[in-house]
């Protein structure tokens, strides 16, 4: 005789009193009771709580858990050292499986027992083993937008499950939330990091990391002017940040200057372009990071600025005022050129000093005022 029992979720119906066993259900009392479904995390352990019944006059001679593949689970290669029978040959058929693997979820596990005259098997437990996975939506994150991370499982771990989130291995907050999502409304660059989640009580089995990387439009777009006096020798670098303080940057005719655009962007700048502004009119001079004027003419005078563009957006630098003057009197140029060099070096130092200070301290420092210096020579 071989019965195939339905699972029951009701409590075990034997009352155990000291020394007396009273069966409340004598007829049709062959039964194995265990949950029909279980969801557990990879790497963790699961206990399948299970009880079984049979007519009182029988004596249990053999018990076993089995699956289609493995006749005796606790003795099989796959479950050796992992499967542990916690029950007995009376009424308890609980089974514990340690070190769960996702491959353990393929099977239905059933409890079987034999008495001195019959045998019986339960309906079985469907075990689902899931890893935690962090899903990021959207997949690419832009500064100022929102992002939602979801700690997902392939089966439901139950209503009482709570989650915790980690950023670079450290808990994001001390609270454990029943919600499996983590949202940032306005993403900032400081939110970048490696995120993972875990289920409360299984902190030792967190999900894999998901890297949050924040894209942003070009910023700190700066126009730099390098002035050459002799063959290829740069004597000054002037940045556009200081330009509002400059009434005009005067250079002698036939001088060579190179305008270089720099910017901080993620992903990096795709296009640079140079513009010249005369009055309200802007005209494109060149595409590219550098714009060289090798033999400056009076007509090259104007306000120069650059534009940096990436997939997120574009920004412009402030303008660099350039004035190209004609050399008329021998005396004037003899005085002016060295004066320009001195001033250019001074401004260059101011520019360098500001950049260094900003980089080192993250503050915008004012520095000495370049206006007065340039005034003298413009």
Among residues 2, 18, 20, 28, which is the contact residue for ligand NAG, using CB under 6 A? Answer: 28
76 near ligand NAG (CB under 6 A): no
DSSP states along 356-377: HHHHHHS-----S-SHHHHHHH
Question: Which residues from 147-166 bind ligand NAG, rule CB under 6 A?
Answer: 159
Binding to ligand NAG by residue 116, rule CB under 6 A?
yes
Q: Which of 43, 44, 57, 322 is close enough to bind ligand NAG by CB under 6 A?
A: 57
Helix (H, G, I), strand (E, B) or coil at 191: helix
Give the separation between CA 273 and CA 290, rounded to whole angstroms. Answer: 8
**Contact status, residue 91 vs residue 53, Cβ threshold 8 Å:** yes
- Give the angle 326-331-332 at the CA atoms, nearest 5°: 40
Select the residue interacting with ligand NAG from 44, 84, 289, 378 (CB under 6 A).
289
Structure tokens at 374: 């340039």
DSSP string, 61-102: EEEEEE-SS-SSGGGSTTTTTTEEE---SSSB--EEE-S--G
Least distance between ligand NAG and beta carbon 23 (Å): 12
The yes or no reply on residue 92 touching ligand NAG (CB under 6 A) is yes
Interface stretch with ligand NAG, choices 64-72, 100-108, 188-196, 354-362 (CB under 6 A):
354-362
Which residue stretches of the chain are H helix? 330-361, 371-377
Interacting span for ligand NAG (CB under 6 A) from 169-177, 283-291, 323-331, 338-346 = 283-291
Q: Does 260 sit near ligand NAG (CB under 6 A)?
A: yes
Among residues 10, 27, 299, 329, the one that binds ligand NAG under rule CB under 6 A: 10
**DSSP codes, 12-42:** P-EEEETTEEEES--TT--EEE--SEEEEET
User: Scanning residues 200 to 239, which ones bind ligand NAG (CB under 6 A)?
Assistant: 219-220
Binding site residues, ligand NAG, CB under 6 A: 5-6, 8, 10, 12-13, 28, 30-31, 51, 57-59, 86-87, 92, 94, 116-117, 159, 219-220, 258, 260, 288-290, 358-359, 362
């Amino acid at each position: 005789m071989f019965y195939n029992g339905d699972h029951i979720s009701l409590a075990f119906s034997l009352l155990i009193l000291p020394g007396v066993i009273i069966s409340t259900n004598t007829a049709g009392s062959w039964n194995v009771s265990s949950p029909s479904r279980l969801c557990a995390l990879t790497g963790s352990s699961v206990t399948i709580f299970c009880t079984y019944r049979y007519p009182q006059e029988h004596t249990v001679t053999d018990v076993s858990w089995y699956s289609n593949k493995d006749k005796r689970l606790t003795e099989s290669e796959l479950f050796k050292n992992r499967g542990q029978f916690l029950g007995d040959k009376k009424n308890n058929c609980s089974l514990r499986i340690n070190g769960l693997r996702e491959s353990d979820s393929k099977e239905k596990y059933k409890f079987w027992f034999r008495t001195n005259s019959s045998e019986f098997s339960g309906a079985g437990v469907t075990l689902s083993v899931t890893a935690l996975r962090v899903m990021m939506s959207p997949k690419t994150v832009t500064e100022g937008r929102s992002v939602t991370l979801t700690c997902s499982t392939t089966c439901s771990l139950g209503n009482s499950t709570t989650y915790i989130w980690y950023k670079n291995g450290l808990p994001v907050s001390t609270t454990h939330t029943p919600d499996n999502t983590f949202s940032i409304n306005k993403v900032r660059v400081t939110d970048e990091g490696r995120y993972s989640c875990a289920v409360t009580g299984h902190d030792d089995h967190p999900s894999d990391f998901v890297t949050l990387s924040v894209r942003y439009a070009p910023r700190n777009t700066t126009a730099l002017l390098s002035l050459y006096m002799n063959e290829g020798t740069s004597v000054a670098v002037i940045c556009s940040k200081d330009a509002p303080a400059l009434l005009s940057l005067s250079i002698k005719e036939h001088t060579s200057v190179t305008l270089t655009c720099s910017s901080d962007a993620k992903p990096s700048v795709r296009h640079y372009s140079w513009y010249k502004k005369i009055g309200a009119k802007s005209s494109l001079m060149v595409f590219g990071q550098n714009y060289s004027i090798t033999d400056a003419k009076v007509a090259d005078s104007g306000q120069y600025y650059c534009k940096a563009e990436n997939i997120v957006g574009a920004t412009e630098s402030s303008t660099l005022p350039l004035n190209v003057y004609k050399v008329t009197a021998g005396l004037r140029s003899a005085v002016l050129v060295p004066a320009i060099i001195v001033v250019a070096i001074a401004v260059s130092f101011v520019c360098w000093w500001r950049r260094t200070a900003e980089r080192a301290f993250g503050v915008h420092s004012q520095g000495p005022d370049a206006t007065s210096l340039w005034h003298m020579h413009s």
